[in-house]
Structures are given as C-alpha cells and as structure tokens.
Amino acid sequence: MKETKICVIGLGYVGLPLARLFSTKYKTVGFDMSQKRVDALMQGHDATLEVADDLLQDAIKNHGFVCTTDLEKIKDCNFYVVAVPTPVDENNNPDLTPLYGASTTVGKVIGKGDVVVYESTVYPGVTEDECIPVVEKVSGLKFNVDFFAGYSPERINPGDKLHTVEKIKKVTSGSTPEIGQYVNEVYASVITAGTHLAPTMKVAEAAKVIENSQRDINIAFVNELSKIFTLMGIDTTDVLEAAQTKWNFLPFKPGLVGGHCIGVDPYYLAQCAQRHGYNPEIILAGRRMNDGMGEYVANQTIKLMLKKGIQVLNSKIIILGFTFKENCPDVRNTKVYDIVKALNEYNLNISIYDPWANPTIAKHEYGVEVVNELPKEKFDAAILAVSHKEFAGLDVPSLMNENHVIFDVKSFLPCEIIDGRL
C-alpha cells in the first residue's frame, strides 16, 4: 500500500489532538472551515487548550504539520479522518449537518484507493447509510470498490491532561476486513494504550454511543438519589462515601450533565431505537432526570434563601462557573445556563464568574454576561456550579452578605461553609 498521508477534517477538541499525534509519524494536514481557527493554530496556539502550545509548535516546526482551509492542499492525502461535532437540535433530534458537510468535503478530494475514517459520535449505521452516499455522490466513486471507509469513535475527555488521546484505548473498524486491519494499524502506530478492532463499523458505532449513554443513566440514578435523600434530610455525599466501601459499587456523583457527549449521545441511541420500533424507556428517563437538574439546583437555592429569611426579589446571586465542566473553556451545551434560566423567573440580579469561559462566546451563544474577574460587590447567595481549580482556594463566604446561602453543586467546597449541595 502507498505511503499513508493523513488529513484530519475538523480541528476542534477531537481533531486537533489527533492530528498533532498523527503528525509525529505521518505527513499530516489539518483541515477546518474556520480561517480564524487555522490562523491561530498556525501561530502556535490552541484556544481550546487541548494541545499545549509547545507540542503544537513542535508539530509545526519539526514534523511539518500544517493546518489549512484550502481543499487543494488536502487532495494528495489518502487517509481522511472526519472529526466534526454531532449535536442535537432544539427538539433533541440528531443534527447530522456537520457530518454531511464534512462528507461533501471528503467527496471533493478523495481518490481511488483512499480511505475515510469517521470519528464523530453517531448511532449505528450512520457512516454507511448517511455519510458514504454523500461521498459517493460528490466524488463519483464507488464505495468498497474505488474508496473505503472506517469508523473509530473519539474518546477525548476535554480538559483531562492525564487521559490524553494516545493514552486512551482506541476502537477501530473498517468497511472490509482488509481495510479494518489497515485502519487499526494506522491508529495502533500512535496510540500507546493500544487498539481494539471491532468486527464491523456498526459495532464500533454502537460501542461508542452506549459508553456515554451508560454514564448518563448512572448519573441520573445518583441525581434521583440526591433528590430523595435531600427530602429525608440525609447528605448524599455521605451516603455515597459509605456505599463506596463495597468493592463493586460504582462511584458516580450527582451533578449537571452537559457538554457535547454524555448530554447528547443518548438521544442518538434513542432515535435509532425508535426507528426500529422500540421505545427506550430507561435511556429517555435518564435524559429527563439529568436535563432537569439545573432547574432543581435553582429551586433548592431559593428554598434555602427563604428558610433563612433572605428577600428573594432583587437579591444578588453569584454563580461560580459557566463552562460545561471543570478546567475547560468549552460552554457548548452547558447546563449551568439552565440554572440561570430558572433563577431569572424570580427577578434576581445574577452575576456569573468563570475564569475559563470566553465572555464573548457566552454572550453570543446564551445571551448572558460572564466575567473573568471576581466581582467586588457582596451577594445574598452563591452557587458553585463548576469545580474549576481556581475555586479551590476561593474564600466564598468573604463574597457574601452576613445572612447568605451557599449551594455547592459539585461537593467541592468545605462542608462547614455550605448550606446545601447535591
């Protein structure tokens, strides 16, 4: 087989770390539709903070890694990797628009004998039934005759500097047994944690979508436990710590479930099940539970304020954290916004402090004001929504009026200073 030259399409949280890694072994080009994103990367900085500047600059300087928006510069590649988002729409239906767009891009440049591998999270069958027909139509080539495909689901954990792409075992697959072996060999050459070659692309797609669905359901269970134990006057964290002394107890914690994986992927599996005539009761019940936690946190905070005799109308509340998870600038599908929406119904004055979030993006996407510097005023209530490392040493009581409420969503703050937590 000819020398492998890789193009990674989509340079976000998934695509960029993978492209940088591939560049250490193969001639690699990163392709993205955003010229602004490409320019920033070629200057040696990743705004998502997934790839350290020194690693990115080393890839560019010493390994010939190039990022581009120019189709002409990726036409001589022969191993295309698609790593674009797979969101849901306002009705929680899978939105395959980015995949269709990326498949169109591949169709314009793919040649005979080339391979396209999809990494985006989808329900079983999307690669073959939705993506490949687009590549065929645009390219004029025939699938599994002129070009081939693979599926290797991403397992990036944004903000996690321990489980980086090369340290996470990779599931691989191909459209033929031979292509499966080839795709597996390419990934195995850079993934130090090893690979698992699935028998078919549909198996690999299914494996990915159930990974996050399983986590979603487990978190929904402990969220429900939190609601029950709160009504009983029992601290949920204390209960979980006691239960974890058993060797096979799963250590999940209650909380907000947002982001572009756990809060989205179950809807892909649910729609797939419904298309096959099955109503997925547990999966959708878990989604309903987790999607309602932002409103629950807001209401619990208001109840605590009323119990302490704090005037709710026109009171001042500070929310600590707005990104979907700790130590990460990503605000996509953040459930902290659900807390804000619910609190707005009470006519409060809300301040949002997050040292990681980009205020411009937060304003554009959600219409909320986020600040990167701690406000000087005093507050009647505080909600710690995201456990950024900057909050570890924060003296939250010093931000508050004498009579106040502190609610800890993440069980992150010292027990003695909080009034409630999940």
Catalytic residue positions, numbered: 261
What is the rounded distance in angstroms from the CA atom of residue 349 to the CA atom of residue 135? 51
Q: Write the DSSP string, 276-294.
A: TT---HHHHHHHHHHHTHH
What is the rounded distance in angstroms from the CA atom of residue 400 to the CA atom of residue 420? 15
SS3 state of residue 111: coil
Q: Which residues contact 175 (CB under 8 A, 6 or more apart)?
A: 128, 143, 144, 148, 149, 150, 201
Structure tokens at 140: 């004029």
Residue 216 CA from chain centroid, whole number: 13
Would you report the helix, strand and coil content of the chain in percent, each value rounded to 5?
40, 15, 45
What is the rounded distance in angstroms from the CA atom of residue 158 to the CA atom of residue 211? 16
For residue 184, the number of C-alpha atoms closer than 13 Å in the C-beta half-sphere is: 20
8 Å CB contact between 381 and 406: yes
Return left, alpha or beta for 87; rule: phi > 0 is left, psi -120 to 50 is alpha, else beta. beta
